Amino acid sequence: MNAGGLGAGPETGLAQGVLAVASARSPERLGHAVLEALGGPDCPLALGLYLDDPAQPRLVFSARAPQRFLREYDDELSASDPVIGAMRDAPRVIDGAVLVGASHWRRSPFRDHLFRWGFTQSLCGPLCVGDRLVGVLYAASHEGRVRQDGLRDRVGLICRAGSLALTTMAETGRLEPPPVRRPLGTAGLPPRSAEVATRLCAGGSNKQIARDMQISEHTVKEHVANLCRRFGARNRTDLVGCLLRDPGEALPRA
């Protein structure tokens, strides 16, 4: 049954869809509830629900997205996705083209990946437990730009409801935490930098790391910038990959 979603259905339909999202008690059921809230059988969007892993996001639900499209993203792009990297710092609904700018977007492998499979644009929304990003919702469309009137707000509302569901799952033990691997690249780092690196690899945002370490966000940003320079990383997502890599694969720059 259509829950109201993207069509011109009554506001009660959308409200019911959002309530169903907030009431989901497993990541898979959350995905199905999101699909219903965005239109059910009439939803024009391809959806991907990922749980955040510091090394690589994990797909837990998809709809209307070709499996090869998803596999190519997982194999080639997900570990360095700038949208997820930016969202870890400031969770909000993001359009990749707006994030990186029009000129950079035209040369982006992420744009090429979307267009190669017939998608014209995508939005990504955050799923959080407290101030920690635990997942993201991707919505892509074949039907013109996905940034239709009201869609950004609708995705944001659904993601807030999804965050409530994931918070309940985490509190009741139904949500497995993302696997945290020992950041091998912290060997030889100053103690405070090593602690920032460890918390970064565990998925902590700058705000959360600052609070836990009782330092300022500005200081955390300085640590992250210094670590990026040390490891030759382009961004914090790339940095996490460097920190989790076997030291024998590459050495940090002095």
Specify if 4 maps to a domain: no
pLDDT of residue 48: 95
> Is 150 domain-assigned?
yes
Domain count, the chain: 2
What is the spatial distance between Cα 163 and Cα 242, in angstroms, rounded to a whole number?
29
**Residue 95 forms part of a structural domain:** yes
Same domain, 233 and 132: no
Q: Does residue 200 fall inside a structural domain?
A: yes
User: Cα(231)–Cα(198) distance, rounded to whole angstroms?
Assistant: 15
Distance CA 233, CA 175 (A): 31
- Which among 136, 171, 206 is the end of a domain? 171
Domain boundary among 111, 138, 171: 171
- How far apart CA 208 and CA 29 sit, in angstroms, is 28
> Does residue 1 belong to any structural domain of this protein?
no
In a domain, 151, yes or no: yes
Distance of CA 145 to the CA centre of its chain: 20
* 82 in the same domain as 198: no
| 8 A C-beta contact, residue 116 and residue 30 | no
Q: What is the residue range of 139's domain?
A: 11-171
Would you state the pLDDT for residue 42? 82
Residues 112 and 203 in one domain: no
Are 64 and 144 in the same domain? yes
Question: To 5 degrees, how large is the angle CA 184–CA 185–CA 190?
Answer: 115
Q: What is the pLDDT of residue 50?
A: 94
Same domain, 158 and 200: no
Q: Of 171, 192, 209, at which residue does a domain stop?
A: 171
Answer whether 189's CB lies under 8 Å from 178's CB.
no
Cα-to-chain-centroid distance, residue 240: 15
Residues 83 and 193 in one domain: no
Distance of CA 11 to the CA centre of its chain: 28
**Residue 153 sits in the same domain as residue 189:** no
Q: Are residues 107 and 59 in the same domain?
A: yes
Q: Is the same domain home to 66 and 42?
A: yes
Identify the pLDDT of residue 69: 94
Residues 160 and 214 in one domain: no
Residues of the chain with pLDDT under 70: 1-12, 54-55, 143-149, 177-184, 246-254
Are 98 and 19 contained in the same domain? yes
Distance of alpha carbon 16 from its chain centroid, rounded?
25
Domain shared by 148 and 193, yes or no: no
**Domain at 38, CATH number:** 3.30.450.40
Is 254 a member of any domain? Answer: no
